[in-house]
């Protein structure tokens, strides 16, 4: 049984004060059957960790370097994240691949490192509009999944979360239909099965791209979709509370 996971990726939004305001009003709206995760900027991690103590909310970072320390100006290491008590780390988001030259190889190094430091990666994959229009979406996500999971054991793969985020649906208001999302997510699960066998049935795979309270129930109703990675709609506590509750207000 895969526990649903709704993660908010705040991207480069929220000062510490704003972050605390959001999580403090969100804390009472969680429910034990669904894992709610807030992936906050590095600067807010420590304070948000303290603020969510004792609640069902989990904490995520949005990136990390693969090394524990070194001359890597501006980077944050897995040791630094685990010291704070971070649970999840988003790796290979399309914005990092596009604007910060992340490659399948660096994503793989980060995957290996995160798992060895007890952090659960949320590994993002997804095709561009051009790739979708050329009918190459499966080829693209298959290559990203295989490269990202290279060298990982089945027991490590069992722990990870994958987020399928078609780039053309991110922040555009264009959601993939729930059937389109389910089809690719089911395909991704088969790719994982080829690599790691039956543990593929335990791997949680999210959909991301313009998810909001008005479409979350339909998305979560699909057979292979285990959650959502939410950008814009996670920045408002009421909206994110509704997302965790599949559109209902608790
Ligand atoms: O990480 C989240 C995704 O990039 C989706 O963002 P969005 O919900 O604003 O489309």
Per-residue pLDDT band for 199 (boundaries 50, 70, 90) equals very high
Task: Look at residue 39 and tell me if it is in a domain.
Answer: no
In a domain, 24, yes or no: no
CA of 207 to the centre of ligand 1 (A): 9
pLDDT greater than 90 at residue 248: no
* Exposure on the CB side of residue 162, measured as CA atoms within 13 A: 32
Judge whether residue 155 has pLDDT over 80.
yes
Global confidence as pTM: 0.97
Residues known to be catalytic: 93, 165
What share of the chain has pLDDT > 70, as a percent?
A: 99
User: What does the pLDDT read at residue 171?
Assistant: 85
Query: Does some domain include residue 36?
Result: no
- List pLDDT tens digits, range 106-121: 999 999 999 999 999 9
DSSP string, 93-151: -HHHHHHS---HHHHHHHHHHHHHTT-EEEEEE---HHHHHTT-HHHHHHHHHHHHTTT
* pLDDT, averaged across the chain: 96
pLDDT above 80: residue 19: yes
> Residue 247: pLDDT above 90?
no
| Least reliable range by pLDDT among 24-33, 37-46, 158-167 | 24-33
Range of the structural domain that residue 216 is part of: 5-11+58-245
Residue 102 belongs to some domain of the structure: yes
- Evaluate whether residue 40 is within a structural domain: no
Residue 250 has pLDDT above 50, yes or no: no
Local confidence band at 249 (pLDDT 50, 70, 90 cut-offs): low
**Cβ 121 under 6 angstroms from ligand 1:** no
Q: Is residue 17 part of a domain?
A: no
Question: Would the CA dihedral through 131, 226, 32, 91 be positive or negative?
Answer: negative
ipTM, two decimals, is: 0.99
Which numbered atom of ligand 1 lies nearest the CA of 124? 1
Please state the rounded mean pLDDT for residues 170-187.
Answer: 91
What span, in angstroms and rounded, lies between the C-alpha atoms of 241 and 91? Answer: 24
Nearest CA to ligand 1 atom 3: 231
Residues of each annotated binding site for substrate:
9-11, 171, 210, 231-232
DSSP calls for the chain: -PPPEEEEE--S---HHHHHHHHHHHGGG-BTTBEEEEE--GGGHHHHHHHHTTSS-EEEES---SSSSSS-TT---HHHHHHHT--EEEES-HHHHHHS---HHHHHHHHHHHHHTT-EEEEEE---HHHHHTT-HHHHHHHHHHHHTTT--HHHHTT-EEEE--GGGSSSS-PPPHHHHHHHHHHHHHHHHHHHGGGGGT-EEEEESS--TTTHHHHHTSSS--EEEESGGGGSHHHHHHHHTTT---
Measure 10 CA to ligand 1 centroid, in angstroms: 9
Q: How many domains does the chain have?
A: 1
Place of tokens 């990203």: 144
Asked if residue 4 has pLDDT above 50, the reply is: yes
User: Of residues 28 and 142, which shows the higher confidence score?
Assistant: 142
Ligand 1 centroid from CA 122, angstroms: 13
CATH classification of the domain holding 166: 3.20.20.70
Q: What is the spatial distance between Cα 34 and Cα 31, in angstroms, rounded to a whole number?
A: 6
* Domain-located, residue 16: no
The verdict on residue 45 lying in a domain is no
């Amino acid at each position: 049984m895969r526990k649903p996971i709704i993660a908010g990726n705040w991207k480069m939004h929220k000062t510490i004060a704003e972050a605390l305001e959001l999580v403090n009003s969100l804390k009472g709206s969680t429910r034990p059957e669904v894992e709610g995760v807030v992936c906050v900027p590095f600067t807010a991690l420590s304070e948000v960790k303290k603020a969510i103590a004792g609640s069902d909310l989990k904490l995520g970072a949005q990136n990390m370097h693969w090394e524990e320390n070194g001359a890597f100006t501006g980077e944050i290491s897995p040791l630094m994240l685990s010291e704070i008590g971070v649970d999840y780390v988003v790796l290979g988001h399309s914005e990092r691949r596009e604007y910060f030259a992340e490659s399948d190889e660096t994503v793989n190094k980060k995957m290996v490192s995160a798992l060895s430091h007890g952090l659960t990666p949320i590994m993002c994959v997804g095709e561009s509009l051009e790739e979708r229009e050329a009918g190459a979406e499966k080829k693209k996500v298959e290559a990203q999944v295989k490269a990202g999971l290279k060298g990982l054991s089945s027991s490590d793969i069992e722990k990870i979360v994958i987020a399928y985020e078609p780039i053309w649906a991110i922040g555009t208001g264009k959601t993939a239909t729930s059937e389109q999302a389910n089809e690719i997510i089911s395909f991704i699960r088969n790719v994982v099965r080829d690599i790691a066998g039956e543990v593929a049935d335990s791997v949680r795979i999210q959909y991301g791209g313009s998810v909001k309270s008005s479409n979350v129930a339909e998305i979560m109703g699909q057979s292979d979709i285990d959650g959502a990675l939410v950008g814009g709609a996670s920045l408002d506590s009421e909206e994110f509370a509704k997302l965790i509750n599949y559109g209902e207000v608790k």
